[in-house]
Structure 1
Amino acid sequence: MLNFSGITVRLGGHTILDGATASLPPGSRVGLIGRNGAGKSTLMRVVTGEIEPEDGIVEVPRRVRIGYIAQEAPGGTATPFETVLAADTERERLLRESDIVADSSRLAEIHDRLNAIEAHSAPARAARILVGLGFDEEAQRRPLDSFSGGWRMRVALAALLFSQPDLLLLDEPSNHLDLEATLWLENFLKGYRATMLIVSHERDLLNNVADHILHLEQGRTFLYSGGYDSFERQRRERQSQAESERAALIARREKLQAFVDRWRAKAHSARQAQSRMKALAKMEPVAAVAEDPSLVFDFPSPREVKPPLVVLEGAAAGYEPGKPVLARLDLRIDPDDRIALLGRNGNGKTTLARLLAGQLQAMEGEVKASGRLRVGYFTQYQVEELDGRDTPLQHMSRLMPGAPPKAVRAQLGRFGFSGEKAVREVATMSGGERARLALALITREAPHLLILDEPTNHLDVDAREALVQALNGYDGAVVMVSHDRHMLELAADRLVLVEDGTAADFPGSLEDYTDLVLGRNGQGNSPKTSPKSDRRDQRRAAAEARERSKLLRRDAQLAEAEVARLGARRTELDRAMFDPGSALPADARRTMSELMKMRSDVAARLEAAEEQWLAASEAAEG
């Protein structure tokens, strides 16, 4: 269905694609993945013809209709319903022609074709797609200009799905969706029968929809069979094999070099040395497996505060007097809570988040918060409002006035902005880097409660995994809104459903909620409920697991400090033995025999401390 070979693209003097090659079978569902900035969107634009590659060819069979969402959201006075219906250009053309054609035979042909493409069912199909993406009947009839850019991009996605192209290209389709619309989209794509190429960082979507993964790395593409989990297993095996080959090649080079160094000056072996030198010159290097040390999220641990952190009692919140968005709110948040807010966009999740963050005052009822409570609140607006002319160091310094430069840089370093990365202009950063910077800024005071509203937007799969690990290692409470089901499953142990103008604990699991959204448990009936005692047990177990993790991390930190102390002591003893003039006064008075004995003892203790450190670190990470 789609073949491309040797695709090379350079933009701004940088090589983005370097001989990218792949052959996608007809009917395949391919997830295109890679780190941010790897060139995924560039490859998509090459396939659609928007970008002409410097080298290489793209082959698509004739008469294959390619569907791709334009960068600009649709606008104007047309409604979402009208916009989606108009996406079926053949239906629109035939209907217009049927209104004016006079020839009866041609009219019969038009009606035959309209029946063949099931034009009569198009309005119902368009409405179903729009409902799935969050548009109720009233919203479907409003003009596009009355919607935000994110909702208009949903209309563009609906129009693309409605048009049923033979080759469907989707670039981050869930970026503007909530969890409920993402679940619907995943279910829709599972039943879509054409070939598709999807750029996504959603692990669940890639596992449940894709049957191949196309990995873009260092400008080249590698095709794997199966979903994302299968890709990860195959990639680990490939990396392990590459590392083994690299180690073997290095050993062979060292052996050849040793022979050359030993024998090239000897007359009787000079010719053999020359042949080995030629072999050395022809040996291709094998690159080491690339790792990104800047992929860091490390939330500072807050000082302990007695529970509860926040209690809502009969609270209401909104933006216009007398018109609360949410009411009858009875909610308690403790220091060990990991809460996911569920509910469709527009139901009030952000309103609840702002109330908890102290950005909204309660219209009625009470909001009781610990007097020492510090809250870190992350939203996409903070990412968008970062000054592109400033550096991370300037942003952080403004928010930490009076703090020593070392403390400012230490907070930046927790999120991967060390050295030169701290003084790069924000304008040159990727969306994922800006999100990391925003998280660094809001956690500078070690908040007791972290509120995250769609934190995974702009983060690739590896960055999302690092974020999940950091959240699980964080000692404060977390309230999160996200369409990333994988993150919710791993980082949340309590679900709160926001709907019908209020919010309350959801009695089931995330799987139950998925079934409820998709109508898989009795046409939208209540999910299978879990007794409250079971939920308390689950929360208690999660809290105990976090406490064990905290103790293990503390053990690792103590062991690391002991390794550093013993290492420094060994250096002092070495200095006393080999440079007495710079030795500590106490060491300078000791004999060489005493120093050697002390060094041997310190070295043994250091080796034991290093083993203890490694064991504690592995236990903490496990």
Structure 2
Amino acid sequence: MLTIRDITVRLGGRTILDGASATLPQSGKTGLIGRNGAGKSTLVKTIIGELEPDGGAIEMPKRARLGYIAQEAPSGTRTPFEAVLEADAERTALLAESETCTDPNRLGDVHERLIAIDAYAAPARAARILVGLGFDEAMQAQPLDSFSGGWKMRVALAALLFSQPDVLLLDEPSNHLDLEATLWLENFLQSYPGTLLIISHERDLLNTVADHILHLQGGKLTLYPGSYDSFERLRAERAAQAAAARANQDAQRKKLADYVARNSARASTAKQAQSRAKMLARMQPIAAMSEDPSMSFDFPSPDELRPPLVTMDLAAVGYTPGEPVLRRLNLRIDPEDRIALLGRNGNGKTTLARLLARQMEPMEGSLSFSPKIRIGYFTQYQVEELPADSTPLELMTRAMPGKPPVAVRGQLGRFGFSGDRATAETRTLSGGERARLALALVTRDAPHMLILDEPTNHLDVDAREALVQALNAFEGAVILVSHDRHMVELAADRLVLVDQGTAKPYDGSMADYVDFVLGRNQPKAEDKPGKREDKPARKTPTLSREELKALRRKVTEAETRMTRLQQQIAALDAALLDPAAAKGDLKDLAIGEIGKRHAETTASLEEAELAWLDASEALEAVMGG
């Protein structure tokens, strides 16, 4: 059991943790959440002893082993397999002793202990963990220094999981993982025998793994039972209760203030008025649920282009002449397309994204773009490479030469950088703020196609939801690479699987893909991705597998389109009620044009609702049969 008792931590004169307390359930799986900058990493550093608290204590059983990934990635000539095996210090020491021990009694004890800790099955267990995290047999035998920083951090994670500490602390473990490895990790953590505390902003991971949510807000900790979705429901209920209580208190305060104002001057009621004035002074205001007003994403709408935006015909792309990473690429992208690229890291998702971003040329085949297309390309490296000594205003001014200051500040304002935040040095911004700044920079020209490669790594759960809403309201095309399947499910209409040296449409839903990756409901060889054209799919009693997946996809596409149109109508409603509050391209429209667009969007919503209804009824009829 891990107990956090009245922990207070002050850094740089600022109180990060203020008498925070919580007791984690024995062998429980607790998700630690909170806004960026709330102090989650500070709490973990305090638990592992890296920070000394100003008050309070961390309590654990004396012999409990605590495991946490060090910030420095493993390196050297060791292989990933060797590094993982060495993580079990007891096994390593006992094996070394068994080679040199001459005392037969001690040697017997050593071998007995090796058997007790299942030391001889350890190599197979280490290999399984590495495979789950994306290391094939050849990669397991390569030296660590041949890998990038992200892959080295995977080795560190594998070593920690292999060592099986009694209390396992994980800080954003999926940041260096692709979707496939994230799914494996979720499966692994579900059956982890020890106590788990995991910092994560991934809703699906928290829903799958966590049985408690520890919420850090305002320096305090609150433990909620259940998954993240359960926490969201409880938080919404508390917010509604607080709002009702605040409204009731405001009414009471107004009533008391009116009484004092009307009766203070009259001798007959002065005493009662004085009493009510004291009552009013003692009444502590009920605080509203904390929300971050600067958490904003508002992508500028591009001017219209005729479809297609991009056409690819038997194209190939790679880095070495004659050795393409991807070949036989056939893809068409139209305005308002929402495409998610699936596949393991190393299969070529980023290569395809760079080709679409015009950072690479095809080796063969053809690739054509609409002549006037503007493309915005976001990668996580842009976040890390922002100059530390510049301000958002300086960076945007340099990125928009010749534009008036009002346009520069307007683009920053779309992403929450107004007032002092626009002139704060980048080094002082949180990871989420830097991600918003990078997105503001790449969308400054109102791109027709937005390519996002892992845009959520620096964003908390609420910021991810805001990004999803902004993507659904965006009027250009979106190409998304993300291991956050919640975002993929809500923001993508089409799935493309990058695998086996090419990219092909994936006709199933994200749920189908998750089942495929985890080996559940596996299709036969002829139905696997990339081989569907070889043999006809086996028929179900009513529809073929392919027809059933296509029907499910129609339902999902209609739902996504309905959500996007509803958000657009909400923005149009707000603009009609208050033209001064209009956002995006609505600012430049006359009230009559806004009304016309409202009517067109409403008609489109009705069409989407009919399409959803038809597809849903057809699917229900098939499933019912």
* Equivalent position amino acid for 2:92 in 1: E
The CA distance in 2 between the partners of 1:524 and 1:483, in whole Å, is 26
Corresponding position of 2:403: 403
> Do 2:374 and 2:448's aligned partners in 1 also have CA atoms closer than 8 Å?
yes
The CA distance in 2 between the partners of 1:96 and 1:284, in whole Å, is 66
Deviation at 1:553, TM superposition (A): 5.6
The CA distance in 1 between the partners of 2:571 and 2:4, in whole Å, is 52
Change (3 A) 1:260 1:355: same
Deviation at 1:509, TM superposition (A): 1.4
Change (3 A) 1:187 1:109: same
Change (3 A) 1:555 1:251: closer
Deviation at 1:247, TM superposition (A): 2.6
State the TM-score, normalizing by the size of structure 2: 0.87
The CA distance in 1 between the partners of 2:110 and 2:580, in whole Å, is 82
Alignment of structure 1 residues 250-399 onto 2, 5 Å: 250-267=250-267, 269-399=269-399
Corresponding position of 2:173: 173
> Do 1:497 and 1:504's aligned partners in 2 also have CA atoms closer than 8 Å?
yes
Q: Does 1:155 align with 2:172?
A: no
* Equivalent position amino acid for 2:425 in 1: E
Change (3 A) 1:306 1:85: same
Alignment of structure 1 residues 17-32 onto 2, 5 Å: 17-32=17-32
Alignment of structure 1 residues 138-537 onto 2, 5 Å: 138-267=138-267, 269-522=269-522, 526=528, 529-531=545-547, 534=551, 537=554
Corresponding position of 1:575: none
> Do 1:144 and 1:152's aligned partners in 2 also have CA atoms closer than 8 Å?
yes
The CA distance in 2 between the partners of 1:179 and 1:90, in whole Å, is 33
The CA distance in 2 between the partners of 1:141 and 1:257, in whole Å, is 76
Deviation at 1:548, TM superposition (A): 4.0
Change (3 A) 1:270 1:486: same
> Do 1:204 and 1:486's aligned partners in 2 also have CA atoms closer than 8 Å?
yes
* Equivalent position amino acid for 1:530 in 2: E
Deviations 1:537-557 (A, max 9, x none): 468746864784586267436
Task: Give the CA RMSD over aligned residues.
Answer: 2.6
The CA distance in 2 between the partners of 1:91 and 1:473, in whole Å, is 55
Deviation at 1:561, TM superposition (A): 5.5
Larger radius of gyration: 1
Deviations 1:234-292 (A, max 9, x none): 01111222222223333333334444444455555555444444433433332122221
Alignment of structure 1 residues 15-54 onto 2, 5 Å: 15-54=15-54
Residue ranges of structure 2 left out of the alignment (5+ in a row): 530-543, 583-590, 610-625
Change (3 A) 1:349 1:251: same
The CA distance in 2 between the partners of 1:306 and 1:534, in whole Å, is 28
Corresponding position of 1:580: none
* Equivalent position amino acid for 1:47 in 2: I
Deviations 1:163-201 (A, max 9, x none): 001111001101111111111111111111211010000
Shifted more, 458-467 versus 233-242: the winner is: 233-242
Change (3 A) 1:523 1:49: farther
* Equivalent position amino acid for 1:514 in 2: V
Q: Does 1:556 align with 2:559?
A: no
SS of the residue 1:412 aligns to: helix
The CA distance in 2 between the partners of 1:282 and 1:140, in whole Å, is 67
Change (3 A) 1:548 1:238: closer
> Do 2:8 and 2:54's aligned partners in 1 also have CA atoms closer than 8 Å?
yes
> Do 1:186 and 1:209's aligned partners in 2 also have CA atoms closer than 8 Å?
yes
> Do 2:308 and 2:334's aligned partners in 1 also have CA atoms closer than 8 Å?
yes
Deviations 1:315-351 (A, max 9, x none): 1111111111111111111113111111111111111
Change (3 A) 1:265 1:557: closer
* Equivalent position amino acid for 1:404 in 2: P
Corresponding position of 2:612: none
Deviations 1:27-81 (A, max 9, x none): 1110000000000000011111111110111111111111111111111111111
Alignment of structure 1 residues 60-139 onto 2, 5 Å: 60-139=60-139
Deviation at 1:524, TM superposition (A): 8.4
> Do 2:450 and 2:479's aligned partners in 1 also have CA atoms closer than 8 Å?
yes
> Do 2:7 and 2:21's aligned partners in 1 also have CA atoms closer than 8 Å?
yes
* Equivalent position amino acid for 2:518 in 1: L
The CA distance in 1 between the partners of 2:40 and 2:205, in whole Å, is 17
Change (3 A) 1:217 1:550: closer
> Do 1:336 and 1:543's aligned partners in 2 also have CA atoms closer than 8 Å?
no
Size of the aligned set, in residue pairs, is 574
